[in-house]
Structure 1
Amino acid sequence: MLTVIGLLSTTFGVSVASALLPLISVELFAVGLVLKEPEIPWWLLAVVIATGQIGGKLLHYYAARGVIRLPRLFRRKSEAEREGRWRGWLETFRVSCRKRPVWTGAVLLVSAVASLPPFAAVAVVAGWAKVPLATFVITGFVGRFVRFGALAIAPGIVVAWL
């Protein structure tokens, strides 16, 4: 039988993996863990998952910013592609994000909680638009904590209600 530390370490690994590969569902893993091991504090589980999720999404964020060099398959083919119609739109979007930091933070927060728009896509767009790292990490962590805290509490509420 795994110890609580072992379970939380596994949870952290699954949360990072799910942040990188959308086919892995940390939500299903978390619900299963809460049902199997109800003595794990909900807030601790939420902190571990939120930390892993933000850690994984930071790779998307940094890749979109150009800090991490992507494999050749994912890179643009030529410099000419960077100068097209998207260049002007990107600059306008970046300026909008800088001028409206509250709006930017709100979109990040809603996406981190509800995954609408998908947080994976928002992480890429945030890096692409050069949203400040602190804004991305803080709003993303708070949103993910709320999301997974609610998910960890939900089975207990359902059981108590029935």
Structure 2
Amino acid sequence: MLTIIGLLSTTFGVSVASALLPLISVELFVVGLVLKEPEIPWWVLALVIAAGQIGGKLLHYYAARGSIRLPGLVRREREAPKTRGRWRAWLESFRENCRSRPVWAGAVLLISAVASLPPFAAVAFVAGWAKVPVTTFLLTGFVGRFARFGVLAAAPTAMTTWL
């Protein structure tokens, strides 16, 4: 039988892995863990998962900034852009909005961290590319992820006491 520390360590590892690989669902893991081990406080789970998620997403953030060199398998060789397409124009507009409106950038990060709309992995990458300050990314991302997973971890207990 795993101890609470062992379960929290496993939870941290799963949350980092799910931040890096979108095929891993930390949401399903949390619901299963809370149903199997209801004595773990919801806020402890939320703290551990938020820390793991932000740790994993920080790699996306720094990779987009160019601070981390990606392996050749996932790295594209840079070419001079031939034309300015719609997607490129949108990204440039987003980058400028992040620079000129830091509160707006924080709000987008917070909403994405809570709701995952747009997906937080994509927003983490674009935030790094747009050079959003790392403190803004860490603070809004952690608060948003804590809220998301706090609600998820508390939901089974709340439902059983409510019903």
Higher helix share: 1
Letter in 1 for 2:102: P
User: Shift in Å at residue 73 of structure 1?
Assistant: 2.8
Distance 2:63 2:26 in 1: 22
| 1:71-129 CA-partner distances (Å, limit 9, x unpaired) | 22322323424x75267665443222111111110110000000000001100100010
Question: Which residue in the other structure is 2:139 paired with?
Answer: 138
Gaps of 5+ in 2: none
Residues in 2 aligned to 1:107 and 1:39: alpha-carbon distance in whole angstroms: 34
The 5-angstrom pairing of residues 1-162 of structure 1 reads 1-81=1-81, 84-85=83-84, 90-162=91-163
Q: Give the distance between the partners of 1:32 and 1:57, measured in 2 at CA.
A: 23
Assess, with a 3 A threshold, how the Cα gap between structure 1 residues 89 and 32 changes in structure 2: closer, same or farther: closer
Q: Distance in 2 between matches of 1:100 and 1:50?
A: 26
Instruction: Specify whether residues 14 and 108 from structure 1 end up closer, same or farther in structure 2 by C-alpha distance, changes over 3 A only.
Output: same
SS at match of 2:80: helix
Runs of 5+ consecutive residues of structure 1 not aligned to the other structure? none
Distance across 2 between alignment mates of 1:31 and 1:2: 17
Moved more, 84-93 or 22-31: 84-93
- Percentage of identical aligned residues: 79
Q: TM-score, normalised by structure 1?
A: 0.93
Aligned equivalents of 2:142, 2:115: Cα separation in 1: 13
1:14 alignment partner, SS class: helix
Aligned pair count reads: 161
Partner Cα separation in structure 2 for residue 38 and residue 60 of structure 1: 33
Q: In 2, Cα distance between the equivalents of 1:125 and 1:2?
A: 38
SS at 1:39's partner residue?
A: coil
CA distance in 1, matches of 2:49, 2:154: 14
Q: Which amino acid is the alignment partner of residue 133 of structure 2?
A: P
Offset, 1:12:
0.1
| 2-structure distance, mates of 1:84, 1:66 | 23
